[in-house]
C-alpha cells in the first residue's frame, strides 16, 4: 500500500508506476522528517535555556526577534537568508540545517528499513505502530546526539522517556496484542515476559558493563548518562544487535579520538562525549546489524 498512487491514465508500466510511487512516498517522508528536525532544533534550544518547548513562538537566539513564516522554512530559510538572521544579521548556526537534513534522511532510512522487513507493506496496525516507534526513538537519539556533543551531558528529560517508551512498547509486543474488530489478548501470566527476555538481557548487559566502567573510574571514563543510554540501546536493539551497536560505537569513538589526538585537537586526557558515538552505533546496528552479524559468522 502506498501513500501516493499515480493515475492509471498515465500509461506507465507497473514497474515505473511502483518506482514513482516509492520515490514520492520517500519524498513525503523526507519532508516530514525535515519539519520534525526543525522542531527538534527548537527542543534542543529550549532544553539549553530551560524553557518550555510546548508554547511560545520561535525567535532568533541572538537578537530575540520573533521569527516569521519565511524564517522558519526548514533548510530553505537557511539557504535564502545565506545563513544569517534577517533582523540582526548575525550568523545562524549550521546545527539547524544539519539536524533538519539528517532527520529527514533518517526518516527515509527508517521507512526503507520497515518496508524491507514487511513484504506486505507497513500500513497494517502492527507495521504502522512499529514505524511510529522507530521514528519516535530516532528523534530521541538525535536529541541525545546533538545535546551531548554540545554540552557533554545527556538530559534525563530525554533519556528517561525514551527508556519508558521502549519498555512499554516491548511489553505491549510481548502480550501479542492484536485488533480484529475486538481486542484479543493471550499468553498472559509469566508468558508475557517471553518477548522481554532478550531485550532485557541486552539492556542489563550493556547498562551493567557501562555502570562498571563508570563506577571503577569514578565517572572519569564516561558519564552516568552513557550508562542510561547503553541501557536504552539494549531495549531498543535487543540481542545480539546490541553487540554490533556497542562495538561500532567503540570503534568509531577510538578512531575519531586518535585522529583528533594526531591533529593536536585533543590530548589523551581530553574529555570527549561518548553519547554521539553510541547513537551512531545504534543506527548502524538497527540498519545493518543482522547483515554484519551474518558476515562475521561466515568468517568463522
pLDDT per residue as tens digits for the range 119-143 = 555 556 777 888 899 999 999 999 9
Residue 285: the pLDDT is: 96
Per-residue pLDDT of 72-118, as tens digits, reads 889 999 998 888 988 888 898 999 999 999 999 999 999 888 877 66
pLDDT level of residue 5 (50, 70, 90 thresholds): low
Rounded to whole angstroms, how far apart are CA atoms 293 and 296? 5
pLDDT > 90? residue 150: yes
Mean pLDDT of 193-207: 87
pLDDT for residue 178? 46
d(CA 277, CA 268): 17
Long-range contacts of 247-252 (CB under 8 A, 24+ apart): 247/281, 248/280, 248/281, 248/284, 248/285, 249/274, 249/277, 249/278, 249/280, 249/281, 249/282, 250/277, 250/281, 252/277, 252/280, 252/281
- Is residue 42 over pLDDT 50? yes
pLDDT of residue 171: 86
pLDDT of residue 192: 58
- pLDDT at 66 (0 to 100): 86
Q: Is the dihedral of CA 263, 266, 269, 273 positive or negative?
A: negative
> Which residue matches cell numbers 536529541?
143
What backbone phi and psi angles, to 5 degrees, belong to 169?
A: -65, -45
Indicate if the pLDDT at residue 223 is higher than 50.
yes
Q: What is the reported pLDDT for 184?
A: 45
What pLDDT does residue 288 have? 93
Amino acid at each position: 500500500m502506498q501513500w501516493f498512487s499515480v493515475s492509471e491514465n498515465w500509461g506507465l508500466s507497473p514497474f515505473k508506476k511502483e518506482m514513482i510511487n516509492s520515490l514520492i512516498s520517500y519524498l513525503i517522508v523526507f519532508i516530514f522528517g525535515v519539519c520534525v528536525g526543525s522542531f527538534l532544533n527548537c527542543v534542543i534550544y529550549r532544553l539549553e535555556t530551560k524553557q518550555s518547548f510546548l508554547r511560545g513562538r520561535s525567535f532568533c537566539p541572538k537578537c530575540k526577534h520573533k521569527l516569521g513564516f519565511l524564517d522558519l522554512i526548514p533548510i530553505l530559510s537557511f539557504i535564502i537568508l545565506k545563513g544569517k538572521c534577517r533582523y540582526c544579521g548575525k550568523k545562524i548556526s549550521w546545527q539547524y540545517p544539519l539536524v533538519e537534513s539528517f532527520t529527514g534522511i533518517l526518516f527515509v532510512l527508517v521507512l526503507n528499513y520497515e518496508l524491507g522487513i514487511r513484504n506486505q507493506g507497513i500500513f497494517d496496525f502492527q507495521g504502522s505502530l512499529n514505524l511510529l516507534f522507530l521514528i519516535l526513538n530516532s528523534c530521541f537519539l538525535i536529541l541525545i546526539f546533538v545535546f551531548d556533543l554540545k554540552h557533554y551531558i545527556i538530559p534525563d528529560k530525554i533519556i528517561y522517556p525514551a527508556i519508558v517508551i521502549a519498555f512499554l512498547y516491548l511489553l505491549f509486543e510481548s502480550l501479542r496484542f492484536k485488533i480484529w474488530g475486538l481486542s484479543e489478548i493471550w499468553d498472559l501470566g509469566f508468558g508475557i515476559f517471553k518477548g522481554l527476555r532478550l531485550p532485557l538481557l541486552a539492556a542489563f548487559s550493556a547498562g551493567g558493563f557501562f555502570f562498571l566502567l563508570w563506577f571503577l573510574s569514578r565517572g572519569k571514563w564516561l558519564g552516568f548518562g552513557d550508562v542510561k543510554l547503553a541501557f536504552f540501546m539494549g531495549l531498543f536493539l535487543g540481542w545480539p544487535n546490541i553487540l554490533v551497536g556497542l562495538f561500532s560505537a567503540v570503534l568509531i569513538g577510538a578512531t575519531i579520538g586518535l585522529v583528533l589526538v594526531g591533529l593536536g585537537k585533543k590530548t589523551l586526557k581530553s574529555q570527549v562525549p561518548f553519547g554521539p558515538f553510541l547513537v551512531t552505533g545504534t543506527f548502524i546496528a538497527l540498519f545493518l546489524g543482522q547483515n554484519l552479524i551474518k558476515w562475521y559468522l561466515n568468517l568463522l
